[in-house]
Amino acid sequence: MKILVLGADGYLGWPTSVDLALDKHELLLIDNYAKRSIMSENNRAPLILNKKIESKIKILKKINKKVSFKNIDCSNFNKFSDAFKKFKPDAVIHFAELPSAPYSMLGAKEGWKTLQNNIQSTYNLVWNVKTHRPNCHIVKLGTMGEYGTPNINIEEGWLNVKHQGRNQKFLYPRQASSLYHTSKIMDTDLIWFYLRLYSLRATDLMQGPVYGVYANDFSKENKLEPTFAYDDMFGTVLNRFIVQSVANVPLTVYGSGNQIRGYLNIRDTIQCIKLALKNPPKKGVLNIFNQFTEQFSVKELANKVASALKKIELNVKIKAIKNPRIEKEKHYYNAKNTGMKKLGLKPTLLTDKVIIEMAQYVISNKKHINNKIISPKSTWK
Amino acid sequence: MKILVLGADGYLGWPTSVDLALDKHELLLIDNYAKRSIMSENNRAPLILNKKIESKIKILKKINKKVSFKNIDCSNFNKFSDAFKKFKPDAVIHFAELPSAPYSMLGAKEGWKTLQNNIQSTYNLVWNVKTHRPNCHIVKLGTMGEYGTPNINIEEGWLNVKHQGRNQKFLYPRQASSLYHTSKIMDTDLIWFYLRLYSLRATDLMQGPVYGVYANDFSKENKLEPTFAYDDMFGTVLNRFIVQSVANVPLTVYGSGNQIRGYLNIRDTIQCIKLALKNPPKKGVLNIFNQFTEQFSVKELANKVASALKKIELNVKIKAIKNPRIEKEKHYYNAKNTGMKKLGLKPTLLTDKVIIEMAQYVISNKKHINNKIISPKSTWK
């Protein structure tokens, strides 16, 4: 299959690209390193500053010659369009969005940058698909955060509403708690609009927070790990907890820690994307999956880490701090996630072994940890 | 009250400004004439090219000294912010959006211009309100088109959902049939997000297509009419029908003409905005009203025009043409509109007299009619 990967340098874009290269797909990887720039401008270095794709691609080419890379800003319509028309993809995986809730809430400039980048890159993608490759399958990364924390069960993307004796199926109503998450609601609005008008095909993967380092053994053997962020802006919560454990500082739980979310291992992200690629929707259909394997409260997550790492003699402390976010700390949460399992997802659950393996990776890079970038600096106020 | 009017040059922005000036409010009018530029670039002249605000404001100053104007692009954060901070409004009326569905569907450039302008101007407004005037009442023009044509009754903005034994109140799910209308869904996402986080106050007026010329007698006496567009891109359907009648060309009904919408007179738009200003929501509350007075199918509307104008001896013909839009032509439609009536709206219904008065205005400017710009040039394909 000819697959275009937008945002191929990211935490998930890169391992997805490696895995698809191993599967011998013809790949065009695109990134403009915007996230690297923003992390650098905000003094948030990842654990290891990975080489850029231009240099890492040599290793991929050894296993698959049909992999290439272009440094393009997907929000630049003409440049993106030129690459798209030339490559003629059968599927596009869209990771080219700024993924940080705290960054989006930092100030007016950062908020607009998030909105502009995420909406414009999605707009350019959909326009090119509708104009040049209407059969191309758009696989878009959404987030469980789009749903927020409603008082009813969270279905997979859609809600059948009975109202005054009549029925209508709607996109499940979304209400997020950060501007970043709101930008993801807006790009869903956009894809869903063009899809139903022009009979396009898309899969929206509503993903929970991801944790982990290596998505496959090849990456581990060839040191092709993704950018592992652990800071307050770009680090996901479990990755941050592991780094705090290794750095011997308390795990910072925001507020009461009763906030429940659905989590998944980076290996499962790749599995889900590959399952989505293998199961494209019919024309005019938007497939939506809730992409997580287990629900935990933040407090439970911290306790799991502490208990697992005791086995390798790390003495983990947990500290509740004032919540820098504005979010409900006590809420109902029950989200469905059966769709991917039906397609064949074999979940990699959060066992002590998984936590210890992550900690071992962090321990081997302990000297790079910068304690100063872990505690939250950006608040929602 | 100190009221900021964004998009004060528009079909509705201008008569609202005149009416609020008559009511002796302190006003800052803002516009950058973007719509004039776009109409001109696309060779879509209005019936009369009105003078710009700089010159018309002299007449307003005779009745109210506290009226001023600034030529500012609301999507320019710094310029907008400077004006906002200096003026310190108690209320803002937000008309500063590109309002044309056909323009938004013309091509990639026009679509992005619509999205960028509408989202960025709303973003800049909300950011300034939350930062500098959190008590300022945002009155935003939405559109009934955001709801689309669901198979259930359309409530006023909100929907109480019962699902598997639990309850949740959501924004009524929206699904529009043009990119312009989708941009209005996205700006609602944005206002609703910041409002619930920062306890702002906003009123969203979900307006149907507006018709009419003069909103009050003062405007008529002083020839302060709004820009009256009748072309395929910027003209609303009833205004277009009146011009076609006067030009002695058939009224162009798109497709079967069974598309039902809620309509209102320009006088009622102004009434509703003033009622919204008089009834600001509490902090943290988003008031939503469905702003229309009567539901008609396009076919009924054409027949009403033909029948009324027979009284002044115009022989009106009606012609069904291939629908340039992608929209359901046969659909359920039942929208609630009791909110504004409860606040005191006295509807100006679409009587023969109203239709004839509009026709008389058009007849007095008959020489300006350009037949070539009435039939649809932009299609959704």
Note the pLDDT tens digit of each residue in B118-158: 999 999 999 999 999 999 999 999 999 999 999 999 999 99
Q: How far is the alpha carbon of B10 from chain A, nearest alpha carbon, in Å?
A: 26
- What's the pLDDT at A381? 79
Query: What residues contact B15, with CB distance under 8 A and at least 6 apart?
Result: B214, B215, B216, B219, B224, B226, B266, B269, B270
Q: Are strands B137-143 and B201-207 parallel, antiparallel or unpaired?
A: parallel
Nearest CA in chain B to A332: B166
Q: Tell me the residue length of chain B.
A: 381
Q: Cβ–Cβ of A159/B159 closer than 8 Å? A: no
Query: What residues contact B120, with CB distance under 8 A and at least 6 apart?
Result: A112, A115, A116, B74, B75
Percent residues over pLDDT 70 in chain A: 100
Selecting from A119, A131, A150 the residue whose C-beta is nearest the C-beta of B115 gives A119
> Around Cβ B299, how many Cβ atoms within 10 Å?
18
Cβ(A239)–Cβ(A175) below 8 Å: no
The 3-class SS string of chain A reads: CEEEEECCCCCCHHHHHHHHHHCCCEEEEEECCHHHHHHHHCCCCCCCCCCCHHHHHHHHHHHCCCEEEEECCCCCHHHHHHHHHHHCCCEEEECCCCCCHHHHCCCHHHHHHHHHHHHHHHHHHHHHHHHHCCCCEEEEEEEHHHCCCCCCCECCCEEEEEECCEEEEEECCCCCCCHHHHHHHHHHHHHHHHHHHHCCEEEEEEECCEECCCCCHHHHHCCCCCCCCCCCCCCCHHHHHHHHHHCCCCEEEECCCCCEEEEEEHHHHHHHHHHHHHCCCCCCCEEEEEECCEEEEHHHHHHHHHHHHHCCCCCCCEEEECCCCCCCCCCCCCECCCHHHHHCCCCCCCCHHHHHHHHHHHHCCHHHCCHHHCCCCCCCC
B196 interfaces chain A, CB cutoff of 8 Å: yes
- What's the pLDDT at B188? 95
Helix or strand or coil: residue B124? helix
pLDDT at B380 over 90: no
CATH of domain B2-229+263-293+333-348: 3.40.50.720
Helix or strand or coil: residue B27? strand
Q: Which of A357, A373, A102 is nearest to A242 (CA)?
A: A357
Q: Which band of pLDDT confidence, cut at 50, 70 and 90, is reported for residue A379?
A: confident
A176 interfaces chain B, CB cutoff of 8 Å: yes
pLDDT at B294 over 80: yes
Nearest CA in chain A to B150: A168
Selecting from A150, A170, A189 the residue whose C-beta is nearest the C-beta of B182 gives A189
* C-alpha angle A60-A65-A70 in degrees, rounded to nearest 5: 70
Q: Cβ–Cβ of A175/B175 closer than 8 Å? A: no
Rounded-to-10 torsion of CA B59, B60, B62, B64: 180
Whether the CA torsion A268, A273, A278, A282 is positive or negative: it is: positive
Task: Please return the burial class of A28, using the count of CB atoms within 10 Å of its CB with bins 0-12, 13-18 and 19+.
Answer: buried
Which residues lie across from B219 on neighbouring strands? none
Cβ(B380)–Cβ(B324) below 8 Å: yes
Catalytic residue among A180, A194, A214, A361: A180
Selecting from B163, B175, B190 the residue whose C-beta is nearest the C-beta of A152 gives B163
The tens digit of pLDDT for each residue in A333-345 reads 999 999 999 999 9
Element counts in chain B: helices (H) and strands (E): 13, 14
Q: What is the mean pLDDT of residues B190-206?
A: 97
Q: Cβ–Cβ of B159/A161 closer than 8 Å? A: yes
- What's the pLDDT at B325? 93
Chain A residues closer than 8 Å to B175 by CB: 170-171, 192-193, 196
Q: Cβ–Cβ of A163/B179 closer than 8 Å? A: no
Task: Please return the burial class of B180, using the count of CB atoms within 10 Å of its CB with bins 0-12, 13-18 and 19+.
Answer: buried
Cβ(B285)–Cβ(B334) below 8 Å: no
Q: Cβ–Cβ of B163/A173 closer than 8 Å? A: no
The tens digit of pLDDT for each residue in A10-21 reads 999 999 999 999
Q: Which of B270, B252, B301, B193 is nearest to B23 (CA)?
A: B270
Selecting from B108, B159, B173 the residue whose C-beta is nearest the C-beta of A77 gives B108
pLDDT at B358 over 90: yes
Q: Which of A149, A157, A334 is nearest to B168 (CA)?
A: A149
Q: Cβ–Cβ of A190/B177 closer than 8 Å? A: no
Q: Cβ–Cβ of A176/B193 closer than 8 Å? A: yes
The tens digit of pLDDT for each residue in A132-164 reads 999 999 999 999 999 999 999 999 999 999 999
pLDDT at B378 over 80: no
Q: Which band of pLDDT confidence, cut at 50, 70 and 90, is reported for residue B263?
A: very high
Catalytic residue among A16, A114, A143, A252: A143
Q: What is the mean pLDDT of residues B261-288?
A: 97
- Token pair of A67 as six digits: 């992999």
Chain B residues closer than 8 Å to A197 by CB: 177, 326, 380
- What's the pLDDT at B381? 79
Amino acid at A11: Y
> Around Cβ B37, how many Cβ atoms within 10 Å?
10
B127 interfaces chain A, CB cutoff of 8 Å: yes
Q: Cβ–Cβ of A197/B120 closer than 8 Å? A: no
Selecting from A153, A175, A182 the residue whose C-beta is nearest the C-beta of B164 gives A153
The enclosing H or E element of B35 equals helix B34-41
Q: Cβ–Cβ of A197/B332 closer than 8 Å? A: no
Kindly report the average pLDDT of chain B as a whole number: 96
Rounded to two decimals, what is the model's pTM?
A: 0.97
Interatomic CA distance for residues B13 and B32, integer angstroms: 13
Chain B residues closer than 8 Å to A162 by CB: 162
Interatomic CA distance for residues A139 and A90, integer angstroms: 11
Q: Which of A323, A207, A332 is nearest to A260 (CA)?
A: A332
Q: How far is the alpha carbon of B65 from chain A, nearest alpha carbon, in Å?
A: 34
B119 interfaces chain A, CB cutoff of 8 Å: yes
Q: Please, which residues 239-258 of chain B have a Cβ atom closer than 8 Å to chain A?
A: none
- What order of strands is seen across the sheet that includes strand B210-211? B210-211, B260-265, B294-297
Q: Cβ–Cβ of B150/A173 closer than 8 Å? A: no
Q: Which band of pLDDT confidence, cut at 50, 70 and 90, is reported for residue B90?
A: very high
- Token pair of A95 as six digits: 């990771």
The maximal CA–CA distance of chain A, rounded, in angstroms, is: 64
Percent residues over pLDDT 70 in chain B: 100
Q: Cβ–Cβ of A170/B166 closer than 8 Å? A: no
A199 interfaces chain B, CB cutoff of 8 Å: no
Nearest CA in chain B to A198: B381
Cβ(A95)–Cβ(A12) below 8 Å: yes
> Active-site positions of B?
143, 180, 184
Selecting from B109, B151, B164 the residue whose C-beta is nearest the C-beta of A168 gives B151
- What's the pLDDT at B193? 97
The enclosing H or E element of B17 equals helix B13-22
Beta-carbon contacts below 8 Å between A and B: 111
Query: What residues contact B41, with CB distance under 8 A and at least 6 apart?
Result: none
* DSSP string for B128-150: HHHHH-TTPEEEEEEEGGGT---
Q: Which band of pLDDT confidence, cut at 50, 70 and 90, is reported for residue B377?
A: confident
pLDDT at B83 over 80: yes
Fold of A2-224+266-293+334-348: Rossmann fold (3.40.50)
Q: Where are the domains of chain B?
A: 2-229+263-293+333-348
Helix or strand or coil: residue B31? strand
CA-to-CA separations, B236 to A257, B101, B115, B185, B266, in angstroms, rounded: 53, 10, 20, 20, 12
pLDDT at A271 over 90: yes
DSSP state of B50: P
Chain A residues closer than 8 Å to B162 by CB: 162
Q: Cβ–Cβ of A152/B166 closer than 8 Å? A: yes
Establish whether A342 is a catalytic residue: no
Q: What is the mean pLDDT of residues B103-131?
A: 97
- What's the pLDDT at A297? 95
B153 interfaces chain A, CB cutoff of 8 Å: yes
